[in-house]
Amino acid sequence: MDGLASNVHVLGGSSTLAMEVSEFLALKEMPVLSYSRSSDSKFIKVSDYSLVSAEISPGDTAIIFFAISSPRACEIDSKTSFAVNVTLTNHVIKEILDRGGNVIFISSDAVYGSTTNVVEESSPLSPIGNYGNQKSLVEATWGGIKGFIAIRTSLNVSNNNQIIQKFLSGEPTSVLKNLYRNMLLTSDLSALIHQVLRMPNNRWPRAINAGGNHLQDVAGYFSSIANLMGYSGLQIGEWDKIDKISKPGKIEMDSTLAQSILGRPFVSIHDFVAKL
């Protein structure tokens, strides 16, 4: 069904990112329904989101945030992460599409693996580690099918970012050195998703890169915020064996398409520092 979604179903709604996107969409007067697994359940079960997919009506859109999103966790427990990030996710996507719904799949820049050149949406995927590979497998299953779109997002920054929250609470935390990403304000990701929801699904591209305009040294960025806040608990960590096999050191994306859909450039993450 082409046209605007009548309801937006946020699956995995208890994550920080999903909550911020949901709040943004609600402020834009979109009818948002949010779902998450029960707090006493260690892992997401197929039945949990199968019940949700039964609530989808033709023309509704589901935004899939749920995942085991820690690359380390995916590497340590490949069986469980595959069950959630691939098997469950594909099961739910199929049910939603079969019911005439649409799917916005929150993917990751990790599908590109470590990059030596700036990558566009048409660039070949070359993931390293289980997390990036699992995201790419879902994209390979559904990419190009009407009603499905993948948003490949990078690290997102807001007051609710886990590292920023550590700064605010005074708790110690750490980031890896020599980690480079196109960091993006969560407000810009939310605005992009809002614009995608306003598009007819026959105009959706297969995938959209959602990263900031400049490659950032993640440790350097958070160190600058820590200095501004007078926070002294930040440690710059070395890469261990699991980090090296699960996380690309550098991913640089071209997000021209996302900004054309949004109708404006992404806001610099350094403007967020000034407003903190």
DSSP 140-196: HHHTTSTTEEEEEE--EESTTSHHHHHHHHT--EEEESS-EE--EEHHHHHHHHHHH
Containing structural domain, residue 113: 8-159+184-215+251-267
DSSP of 67-116: S---HHHHHHTHHHHHIIIIIIHHHHHHHHHHTT-EEEEEEEGGGG-S-S
Count of residues for the chain? 276
Share of the chain above pLDDT 90, in %: 84
Sign of CA dihedral 165, 213, 22, 146: negative
Look over the chain and give the mean of its residue pLDDT values, rounded to a whole number.
91
DSSP state of 267: P
Residue 225 domain flag: no
Residue 242: pLDDT over 90: yes
Residue 259 domain flag: yes
Cα–Cα distances (Å) from 128 to 1, 27, 200, 244, 250, in that order, read 36, 38, 34, 9, 12
pLDDT digits (tens, 9 = 90+) for 170-222: 999 999 999 999 999 999 999 999 999 999 999 999 999 999 999 999 999 99
pLDDT digits (tens, 9 = 90+) for 244-276: 999 999 999 999 999 999 999 999 999 887 676
Residue 4: pLDDT over 70: no
Residue 275 domain flag: no
pLDDT reported for residue 52: 72
Give the residue-averaged pLDDT of 65-81: 95
Say how far apart CA 164 and CA 55 lie, in whole Å. Answer: 36
Residue 245 domain flag: no
Residue 1 domain flag: no
Residue 43: pLDDT over 80: no
Angle, alpha carbons 83-88-93 (nearest 5°)? 150
CB of 145 within 8 A of CB of 178? no
Residue 154 domain flag: yes
Q: Which residues pair with 184 in a beta bridge?
A: 156
Residue 31 domain flag: yes
Residue 223 domain flag: no
pLDDT digits (tens, 9 = 90+) for 112-140: 999 999 999 999 999 999 999 999 999 99
The pTM assigned to this predicted structure is 0.93
Give the residue-averaged pLDDT of 97-107: 96
CATH assignment of the domain containing 55: 3.40.50.720
Residue 42: pLDDT over 80: no
- Number of structural domains found in the chain: 1
pLDDT reported for residue 13: 82
